Structure 1
Amino acid sequence: MELHIVIEGRKDLTGQLYRQLSDAIRSGRLAAGQQLPPTRLLAERLGLSRKTVAEAYGRLTLDKLVVGRVGAGSFVQAPAAPRAQRVERSGLASADIVRKWDSMATPLRHPLPEGRSRYEFIGGCATPGHFPMDEWRRCLLYALRQDPALRGRYGEAEGLPVLREAIARHIAFARGVVCTPASLVVTNGAQQALDLLGRVLLEPGCVVAVEDPGYPAARGLFASQGAQVVGVPVDGEGMLVDRIPDTARLIYVTPAHQFPLGMPMSVARRRALLARARDIGAIIIEDDYDSEFRYEGRPTDSLQCMDSEGIVVFVGTFSKVMLPELRLGYMVLPEPLVNATLTVKHLTDWHTNTMNQHALAKFIGDGYLQKHIRRCHDIYATRRERLQTLFAALLAPWFEVVPSEAGFHLAALCRKEVDIELLLRLARRTDVGLYSLANFYADQPPQQGLFLGYGAIDTLDIEPALTRVRDILVEMG
């Protein structure tokens, strides 16, 4: 710990030291839990007597700013800092831009741990307890031993060759994606892939067609880049292709598992989408975010493998199948987009964390990824079946589950009028975290219903959680 103390003169040395340490703690420069230097060491550094330092520590202890632990030392016990009040500054040239970002909705931002419920149906969140930490730790240790000659240097913008080769093999087997390592770029999650594509393909005023309901973070990202984002309605077969504007330059879809409703895009609709994009000269972004987990029917190949015109960008992520905090994703690009995308990637963040790239390449190559997918598939299949059974029994008077073949979330539409916002508030009071489908609609009138992620809730917790929801609905009448 670096502690910068300036003693002025020889008067009231204990008071000077006390006030400076107190200010450092109250201002947050010394964080709660941080260890203070031993009295002898600090006295030597400042040219003070040990008694002076000990007296200052004693006064801080009386103020409950420091706590002493026998055999361990003295530690900061900072009071909770009051929330800083927002200061409005007039005349700031960028004030309108700042207000634009302030007003932007982020409905998928996950709550902090203290804001989560015991029974949590949040989407896009896997159960960390099922992740093979021992295997991942071995892969990280392996990564530490790689490329010692390149240690301390920047990596390639496109990602490590060994990881791009591993990903190319994996998605060719799992999703039928046609690619080579040269067309694959490693990114910081799928969200960065979308950001890079928007920077390469869009200018202010360009039209982007997205599903409605759809992924709010994609809509918000393209809008922040100055695009005119147009919501295209969906039906049981996916996006209504004939509603895509003629001026669309970019089309964003989730064909394997429509987000958030869950149904797959039919083969006929996929062909129609490819034809429509070809006719208007648009690029399609195929976001394949969680289709590794499939429970019914034959696996469908990716939209990208049906593309003979070079107009589909396949975007994938390891956040859903592994852990979100790894921030590892990728995209498979048509050849004409590769160099431009690498230029933008280089300018925005140089490259993705190479240590995790080495570890992930080892994780895939040693078969740990497929083993983990199979394990999670069985767990999620059980949770999915439990949810469907209980909705068909306990909650049948109010909700109907939308058929879904993949992923680890379900949508449930209201059979009759339900005050969803009231239901969410009352459920939160009983420690059940529910989420509304209305958050995913933009231009279309929202359907009443619930978005139910089952990656973060244990199987045995599903029934008590939904029983509480049933009881609330009965009380609501």
Structure 2
Amino acid sequence: MISLSERAKKLEDRSLSLLDDPVQQNAFRPGIPAFDAFPIETWSRLTSRRWRTVPTEQLEYGDPAGYPPLREQVAEYLRTARGTRCEAEQVIILSGTQQAFSLVARVLLDPGDTVCMEDPGFPQMRGAFAAAGANICPVSVDDNGFVPPFEDVIPRMVGITPSHQYPLGITMSSSRRRDVLDWSSENDIWILEDDYDSEYRYSGPPVGALQGMDDSGRVLYSGTFSKVLFPALRLGYLVVPSSLKEPIIKMRTISDRSPPRIPQMTLTDFMHEGHFEKHIREMRMLYAHRQTVLLDALSKHLGDIIDPAPSNAGLHLVGYLPEGVDDQAVADRLSDHGIIALPLSFYTTRSLDRGGLLLGYAAVPEDEIQKKVRLMADILEPLI
């Protein structure tokens, strides 16, 4: 019998899975961008150019903080598009948000420390905290976002997705943001902000990052290019207070040393030449349209079964099921027919008053959306 560490044992629970099961279908898998609309020819041209011109010394190990020109591009983008307060020296290029969660947990948490997390919340973030031996304190989410527990518990860290709460899609209000920041500053609480789906807002004024409001240097800000470009790129970033830069980089060097050089160079060119912002603008229009198509199809074919929650941002919708319906059983039945719609119960450690399904629409062409929704109706109507 294999003897696992206590950290590994904490990851055996399904709710703490670090990765979803790999699947081939993208309807309606959340968090997947539109591969059919990615400018692959432009990306290929930039990659080929880099390989033709790369100096041999650039094939050496790279800076563990990331390729300096890319860090400059990321910092400039975050300042202008997300309202962050950061310089390139604070940006660390990583393989994605999962590595960011893991590094932050290992640097700032000791076994037994308390971490407050949104519930429902991001299982991958919860998994990173659990692997560090933290005690997870689930915190409710209301219409204004994360509800600080204030006097009830003073955690070492808080993990939140304020711009587009995952999975419910709520945007944290300005007053709630200020409450969270004041609470954090007064009690020396670190905040790990995952700026999930922040690029894709379809109506209303832009919402800046929580990090841009932070006056006390308590917020660590993570983001990824997986949702904007493609997951296989395996590049993301972490913006840290200057006091944490060296400890986090040192921790990073004992795991994977440095990010891959050529993809960073290609991404630098992609951003510098304007392709990145152009792609985001185009995808914002495409995803808004695909969301509309999904809503229309749900209303037409599943209006009595699925009640979609309003959402003006992101790559997915939450479709609530009738009370008393087991969302896991529904998701399993849909999966048997090639439709991936993750149950809302997967994202919580508590019982839900009402189950639901996460319906990712970004990667699904319009005709496929309608086809899959009709199939869902055929599957679910006899059951509910």
Normalising TM by the smaller chain, what interval?
Answer: over 0.9
- Consecutive unaligned residues of structure 1, counting only runs of 5 or more, are 1-87
Name the CA distance, whole Å, in 1 between partners of 2:103 and 2:162.
21
CA contact (8 A) 1:212 1:444 kept: no
Name the CA distance, whole Å, in 2 between partners of 1:331 and 1:245.
30
Pairwise CA distance, 1:227 = 0.7
Which of these residues, 34, 52, 55, is aligned with residue 148 of structure 1?
A: 55
Name the CA distance, whole Å, in 2 between partners of 1:438 and 1:381.
26
State whether structure 2 residue 22 is matched by structure 1 residue 111: yes
Amino acid at match of 1:316: G
State whether structure 2 residue 342 is matched by structure 1 residue 431: no
Name the CA distance, whole Å, in 1 between partners of 2:183 and 2:46.
44
1:108-159 per-position Cα deviation (integer Å, ceiling 9, x unaligned): 514343xx4xx72011112222111111112212332555252442111111
Match of residue 383 from structure 2: 476
Which of these residues, 38, 42, 66, is aligned with residue 135 of structure 1?
A: 42
Pairwise CA distance, 1:467 = 1.8
CA contact (8 A) 1:264 1:405 kept: no
How many residues end up aligned between the 2 structures?
382
CA contact (8 A) 2:194 2:221 kept: yes
1:426-446 per-position Cα deviation (integer Å, ceiling 9, x unaligned): 323433322210000014546
1:135-214 equivalences under 5 Å are 135-145=42-52, 148-214=55-121
CA contact (8 A) 1:104 1:220 kept: no
The 1:245/1:324 distance shift into structure 2, 3 A limit, reads farther
Q: Secondary structure at the match of 1:433?
A: coil
The 1:278/1:422 distance shift into structure 2, 3 A limit, reads same
1:388-403 equivalences under 5 Å are 388-403=295-310
Match of residue 283 from structure 1: 190
Pairwise CA distance, 1:160 = 1.3
CA contact (8 A) 2:95 2:259 kept: yes
Name the CA distance, whole Å, in 1 between partners of 2:371 and 2:60.
53
Name the CA distance, whole Å, in 1 between partners of 2:64 and 2:52.
21
The 1:243/1:443 distance shift into structure 2, 3 A limit, reads farther
State whether structure 2 residue 279 is matched by structure 1 residue 366: no
Higher relative contact order (CA 8 A, sep 6+): 2
Name the CA distance, whole Å, in 2 between partners of 1:313 and 1:429.
40
The 1:281/1:387 distance shift into structure 2, 3 A limit, reads same
CA contact (8 A) 1:213 1:444 kept: no
1:9-48 equivalences under 5 Å are none
Name the CA distance, whole Å, in 2 between partners of 1:245 and 1:337.
28
CA contact (8 A) 1:146 1:358 kept: no
Name the CA distance, whole Å, in 1 between partners of 2:91 and 2:151.
28
Q: Secondary structure at the match of 1:229?
A: strand
1:153-183 per-position Cα deviation (integer Å, ceiling 9, x unaligned): 2111111110011111111121111111011
Match of residue 124 from structure 1: 31
TM-score (normalizing by structure 2) = 0.93
Amino acid at match of 1:131: F
CA contact (8 A) 2:62 2:261 kept: yes
Match of residue 306 from structure 1: 213
CA contact (8 A) 1:423 1:472 kept: no
The 1:312/1:412 distance shift into structure 2, 3 A limit, reads same
Amino acid at match of 1:422: A
Amino acid at match of 2:41: D
Q: Secondary structure at the match of 2:178?
A: helix
The 1:399/1:356 distance shift into structure 2, 3 A limit, reads same
Which of these residues, 180, 194, 199, is aligned with residue 273 of structure 1?
A: 180
1:269-348 equivalences under 5 Å are 269-348=176-255
Name the CA distance, whole Å, in 1 between partners of 2:18 and 2:299.
28
Q: Secondary structure at the match of 1:412?
A: strand
Pairwise CA distance, 1:187 = 0.6
Identical aligned residues as a percent? 34
Amino acid at match of 2:170: M
The 1:123/1:222 distance shift into structure 2, 3 A limit, reads same
Name the CA distance, whole Å, in 1 between partners of 2:216 and 2:164.
23
Amino acid at match of 2:91: L
Pairwise CA distance, 1:396 = 2.4
Name the CA distance, whole Å, in 2 between partners of 1:325 and 1:225.
26
Amino acid at match of 2:22: P
Q: Secondary structure at the match of 1:316?
A: strand
Amino acid at match of 1:468: L
The 1:199/1:356 distance shift into structure 2, 3 A limit, reads same
The 1:415/1:102 distance shift into structure 2, 3 A limit, reads closer
Name the CA distance, whole Å, in 1 between partners of 2:213 and 2:18.
33
- Consecutive unaligned residues of structure 2, counting only runs of 5 or more, are none
TM-score (normalizing by structure 1) = 0.76
Pairwise CA distance, 1:343 = 1.1
Q: CA RMSD, aligned part only? A: 2.0
1:238-275 per-position Cα deviation (integer Å, ceiling 9, x unaligned): 01113685331111100110000111111111111101
